Structure 1
Amino acid sequence: MKDFFLAIEDLFVNVLFAPFDALAVLELDNWWSANILSWVFVVIAMVAFVYWMLQLKEHSKNNEEDKSVTSHSYL
């Protein structure tokens, strides 16, 4: 059983986390290379947000949403 858990440790430490170790080496060299991945994710999030807002505007313009107040009778 000990070998099983050592194999899992080896998989994660030496294989799956290897790209993160490569990024850690880049961090020491230069600020831009350390933060480029973060900026890529920020740009992807901004594009997704703009796309989502445009979709909401389009559906609102087509009156596809049920805006009736009958969903809660206690109101």
Structure 2
Amino acid sequence: MLPGITLSYAFNSQFSINGGYKYGFEVDGEDAEVHLASVGAVYALTEQVELNATAYFAEEQGFSGATAGIAYHF
């Protein structure tokens, strides 16, 4: 499971930044746990299309990945 929190701030109607924290643990009782942090940005290309990018960091591993995508809102 990965419960967590994400906060975002919009500078204007086209650009926003976000950051988050998630705590991961095994449901079956194993002693595996992970702390994840993320930072990202969203840029509105048009009124309904946005470009987003996020980087993820794990406590023990440092940088652990990135995602990017285009979203369409109707």
Greater share of helix: 1
TM-score interval, smaller chain: under 0.3
TM-score of the superposed pair, with normalisation by structure 2: 0.17
TM-score of the superposed pair, with normalisation by structure 1: 0.17
